[in-house]
Structure 1
Amino acid sequence: MQKIKFTLFSLRALLLAALPFIMTAVVVCGLAYWLVDPAPPRVIDMSTGPANSAYARFAQLYAQELAKNKITLRLQTSEGSQENFDRIRSPDSQIEVGFVRSGSTDPDSAQEQGLISLGSLFYEPIWVFYHSRQELSNLSQFKGKRINLGAEGNGIGRIFRQILAANHLQEADVQIQRSPDQDAADALLRGDTDVLVLSAGSDSPLVQRLMQSSGIRLFDFVQAEAYTRRFPYLSQVTLARGMIDIGKDIPARDYHLISPTVTLVAHESLHPALIALLLQAAQKIHSRADWLSHRAEFPSDRYTEIPVSADAEKFYQHGIPVLQRYLPFWIANFIERMWFVIVALGALLLPLSKIIPPLYVWRIRSRVYRWYGQLRLVEQVMDELPASGRTQLLQQQLSRLDEIEDKVNRISIPLSYAEELYGLRSHIDFVRKRILSLMTEPPPV
């Protein structure tokens, strides 16, 4: 151990020499961590949709994906798209993100209220089921009918009123009902309502139930192309023949549908790192093909009325952030937030680090040089010896010199600096010889 002690450099001296710079870096990084760009919150509030709805099911999947990165997604049920939109834009609400159907929002007011889009997620066609002995080809034929638009807050009412207006119908020309979709479907099957309008994904059990119910027809939007030209938030999709049940040939022909898309809408205060995390979850959940969309068609920065945020656009153009591909989310986020601080510190500390080697050398040599001060005090006493008590003073300095030598012999110093240590020892021996010489000389007269 003694050999190692005298051959290795002094780690303690190196740390003490670098300590001011280490402390500076720690303080600057600490301040930057809290002040430059706050860390993402670990809790997000999301408005979903009615219990057991597609929105609610998707929200659960999002919660599971975010939980993998220790982010809690607090879910709040709602009546649907319109209520989600109102919650996100409300200054009194804690909701930061939710599912909003295109066509149920006012893009201008949404921007003014600080709302952003993270992209569209899936088609949610407008399904119009009705009772009739003969097939209807124009919505104007629904004049005087009892039309159920689902519960208030689901957002479909605003869209369907625009569609009625395009067919020269006013709200007074029909009898609007607002029952929840499940209750409305039961009413349609009983004959208590004539038309059921709902917007739902292709996997909706309610849609599949009505498609297979006798006496119920699905309206074919043969003018789908015209609708999409008139209302840009709508897309034309096709329900292919046999898509629901190939064996039973349901439906028995292709149906043209018009479809808004469901958009992931957030408040602009949502942390950018969480935007990327939500879109990664969306990519896993919505990229699969279904009845109406192709594989990897969603999520998309198209089909959205509210402008897509710059952070979301970056995700669509470049994919998952580079660091998050190889590092856990929180470590990658820390580096992304602090990289400019790290670069700035490097630029600052690189020239300052040139001071560390001289400081290290000074600290090593100071272990030797400090004893030269004690040695000079002994020599000063020798140079000022009085005529009386001379021998006693010399004996005291000799004892003092022995104490200095004993302490010097305990000094731990790297081998590369041993020359200074051995030089000190030879100088102590030189002063001792001088004292002994003076003790043998006769006192001056």
Structure 2
Amino acid sequence: MRKKISAGVEGSGTHAQATKILKESGYVGGVDLRNLPGSEAVKALQLGEIDGAFIVDGYEAPNVQTLLNDPMMHLVTFKRAEAYAKLIPYLHILEVPQGAFSLPRNFPSMDMKLLATTTNILIDDRMHPAIQFLFLEAARSINGKGSFFAERGEFPSFKDSIMTESPVAVHYEKNNYPLLAAYFPFWIAELISRLIFILLPFCVLAYPILQALPGFRAKRMQNKINRLYGELKRFEQELLLNFNPEQRNEYLKKLDLLEYQALNVKVSKRLSGDYYALRTSIDYVRNCLNRGQHPYQFDEGVDPDL
């Protein structure tokens, strides 16, 4: 005679898990399956109308507590729990020590192994990250407390999920929810969190650039001053080697142009000494041109080192 077992209503999670386990065990067709809701399955068990029932529910659920508190009911251990967990990855083994459900009754009378599934939160990949955070916060508020089988803070978490993990959920699991949410409204905390996430890397990259910027500007100013010094030096060498008294006015105009270029150089206070030294040098060459007939030539027979 085939055993009558309730596998839950068709389309329910209980029915899906029960048929999956029975199929892996090779019992499909060997049992008389009844599709009873949880509460009806409990009553049928107590009345002896069925021989067993699969219950997929929490430990504190009324249906589970009704059966556990009924001394006429017996809990069946999954002796091959490890094998089921290997074949069906989303199943997890729950260890129940002897007497854990009732010490006065010593129930169960031996260590037992049960199987449990996890509840997954599935979202559309287009869902806004802020809404995903709210979902996770709600899941932590509902499922994050300690229970008979779960440690405090164990859920929500990733457990053998076959779906792609959301980057927001991965961040939440590693870093938890932003601390700012405890002090600001949600939208302000989310805005500040995202601004920090965007601006912090920018500041890390921009800081050395900003530090180097004054030095870069100073180097450009110094290069301009040095270039004008170089032009002045070449001009003075030309006067020394090829001075022509008839071109004195052209020489002075060239000096005026150099001085005009120097006046248009914008320098910082740190380089003001070099700037005014350049203008003083230009003025010195102008004075040399204006003193005497041949200021850049020596008389023959006169030692220039004297």
Q: What TM-score do the two structures reach when normalised by structure 2?
A: 0.59
In structure 1, how many angstroms separate the alpha carbons of the residues matched to 2:134 and 2:58? 24
Read off the aligned partner of 1:261 and give its amino acid letter. Answer: T
Structure 1: gaps (5+ residues) = 1-142, 348-445
Alignment-derived partner of residue 421 in structure 1: none
**Which of residues 181, 202, 212 in structure 2 aligns to 1:324?**
181
1:154 aligned onto 2:5: no
Deviation at 1:294, TM superposition (A): 2.1
1:216 aligned onto 2:73: yes
Deviation at 1:290, TM superposition (A): 1.7
In structure 2, how many angstroms separate the alpha carbons of the residues matched to 1:263 and 1:340? 28
Structure 2: gaps (5+ residues) = 201-205, 207-306
1:266 aligned onto 2:123: yes
In structure 2, how many angstroms separate the alpha carbons of the residues matched to 1:151 and 1:229? 26
Deviation at 1:322, TM superposition (A): 4.8
1:85-136 Cα shifts (integer Å, max 9, x gaps): xxxxxxxxxxxxxxxxxxxxxxxxxxxxxxxxxxxxxxxxxxxxxxxxxxxx
Alignment-derived partner of residue 2 in structure 2: 144
CA RMSD across the alignment: 2.6
Deviation at 1:177, TM superposition (A): 1.2
Alignment-derived partner of residue 155 in structure 2: 298
1:21-420 equivalences under 5 Å are: 144-170=2-28, 172-336=29-193
- Does structure 1 retain, via aligned residues, the 8 Å contact 2:6–2:33? yes
In structure 2, how many angstroms separate the alpha carbons of the residues matched to 1:237 and 1:274? 32
In structure 2, how many angstroms separate the alpha carbons of the residues matched to 1:291 and 1:169? 31
Deviation at 1:330, TM superposition (A): 1.5
Read off the aligned partner of 1:159 and give its amino acid letter. Answer: Q
- Pick closer, same or farther for the CA change 1:341–1:198 going to 2, 3 Å: closer
Deviation at 1:167, TM superposition (A): 1.9
Q: Give the SS at the match of 1:256.
A: strand
Q: Give the SS at the match of 2:108.
A: coil
Q: Give the SS at the match of 1:236.
A: strand
Q: Give the SS at the match of 1:264.
A: coil
Higher relative contact order (CA 8 A, sep 6+): 1
Deviation at 1:208, TM superposition (A): 1.8
In structure 2, how many angstroms separate the alpha carbons of the residues matched to 1:340 and 1:202? 41
Identity %: 30
In structure 2, how many angstroms separate the alpha carbons of the residues matched to 1:184 and 1:211? 14
- Alignment length, in residue pairs? 202
- Does structure 1 retain, via aligned residues, the 8 Å contact 2:90–2:159? no
Deviation at 1:270, TM superposition (A): 2.5
Q: Give the SS at the match of 1:259.
A: strand
In structure 2, how many angstroms separate the alpha carbons of the residues matched to 1:339 and 1:256? 48
1:64-102 Cα shifts (integer Å, max 9, x gaps): xxxxxxxxxxxxxxxxxxxxxxxxxxxxxxxxxxxxxxx
Q: What TM-score do the two structures reach when normalised by structure 1?
A: 0.42
In structure 2, how many angstroms separate the alpha carbons of the residues matched to 1:247 and 1:340? 56
Deviation at 1:149, TM superposition (A): 1.3
In structure 2, how many angstroms separate the alpha carbons of the residues matched to 1:276 and 1:246? 41
Read off the aligned partner of 1:203 and give its amino acid letter. Answer: E
Q: Which structure shows the bigger proportion of residues in strand conformation?
A: 1
Read off the aligned partner of 1:307 and give its amino acid letter. Answer: T
Larger radius of gyration: 2
Deviation at 1:342, TM superposition (A): 8.7
Deviation at 1:299, TM superposition (A): 1.6
Q: Give the SS at the match of 1:216.
A: coil
